[in-house]
């Protein structure tokens, strides 16, 4: 029993879902395109007066460790991280018809639930933007002010600050949903 627990603990230590620099900035996560994909909301510029707040496609991922807990409990554990990667609309027609088709990666955002590090934030969620217009994402990001990001998630997200109403994969995996 003790052996098992310490192995589990060692694994957690060896593979943290996220890490912070000494100056409190979040290190840009790596490998997130191989995390669990949960959905792709699209807010195209041309349906938002040419300038959507978060343009185009938003590919959203959750760390596999957090997803495992979500499947078991239907809740986001302390230490959850979700990534939102923005992708431009590359084409508006394809052999399949007219529509919105993915172009290039144009931005990267993250949210983290951490009751130790962000005990002052509503719901203990903090928000980060690595996006740099026209450039590769920054390698680090500091937590955004509460009134820039958190307030809207607090007000409108379905499940603990997370917009599960737009993520069918999370809804289907929630215990009892069976879809
Ligand atoms: C006006 C409301 C609003 C504001 C302000 C806002 N968001 Fe969101 N955010 C949303 C909505 C709605 C979604 C889900 C649908 C979508 O992506 O369009 C979302 C999804 C996300 C996700 C995916 C995980 C989740 O929680 O659902 C991340 C990460 C995220 N936002 C980061 C940010 C960051 C960083 C900021 C501040 C720079 C921010 N958001 C500000 C409304 C908002």
* Ligand 1 in reach of 82 Cβ (< 6 A): yes
Residue range 124-151: mean pLDDT, rounded: 97
* Ligand 1 in reach of 58 Cβ (< 6 A): yes
* Ligand 1 in reach of 26 Cβ (< 6 A): no
In degrees, rounded to 5, the angle at the alpha carbon of residue 133 between the alpha carbons of residues 127 and 134 is: 140
Q: How many CB atoms lie within 10 A of CB 105?
A: 15
* Ligand 1 in reach of 162 Cβ (< 6 A): yes
Domain boundaries, the chain: 14-19+30-173
DSSP state of 145: P
pLDDT in tens, 98-124: 999 999 999 999 999 999 999 999 999
CA of 76 to the centre of ligand 1 (A): 16
> Taking the CA atoms of the chain, what radius of gyration do you get in angstroms?
17
How distant, in Å, are the alpha carbons of 22, 52, 107, 115, 128 from that of 55?
Answer: 32, 5, 9, 30, 16
Integer Cα distance of 14 and 176 in angstroms: 32
* Ligand 1 in reach of 9 Cβ (< 6 A): no
Nearest CA to ligand 1 atom 1: 152
pTM assigned to the model: 0.93
Q: Which fold has domain 14-19+30-173?
A: Chalcone isomerase (3.50.70)
pLDDT in tens, 36-83: 999 999 999 999 999 999 999 999 999 999 999 999 999 999 999 999
């Amino acid at each position: 029993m003790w052996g098992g627990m310490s192995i589990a603990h060692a694994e957690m230590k060896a593979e943290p879902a996220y890490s912070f620099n000494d100056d409190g900035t979040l290190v840009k996560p790596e490998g997130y395109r191989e995390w669990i994909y949960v959905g792709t909301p699209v807010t195209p510029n041309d349906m938002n007066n040419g300038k959507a707040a978060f343009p185009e496609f938003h590919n959203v991922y959750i760390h596999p460790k957090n997803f495992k807990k979500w499947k078991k409990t239907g809740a986001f554990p302390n230490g959850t991280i979700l990534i939102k990667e923005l992708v431009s609309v590359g084409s508006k027609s394809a052999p399949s018809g007219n529509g919105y088709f993915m172009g290039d990666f144009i931005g990267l955002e993250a949210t983290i639930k951490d009751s130790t590090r962000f005990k002052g934030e509503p719901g203990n969620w903090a928000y980060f933007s690595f996006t740099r217009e026209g450039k590769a994402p920054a390698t680090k990001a500091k937590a955004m002010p509460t009134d820039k990001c958190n307030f809207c998630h607090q007000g409108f997200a379905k499940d603990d600050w997370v917009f599960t109403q737009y993520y069918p994969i999370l809804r289907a995996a929630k215990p009892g949903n069976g879809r």
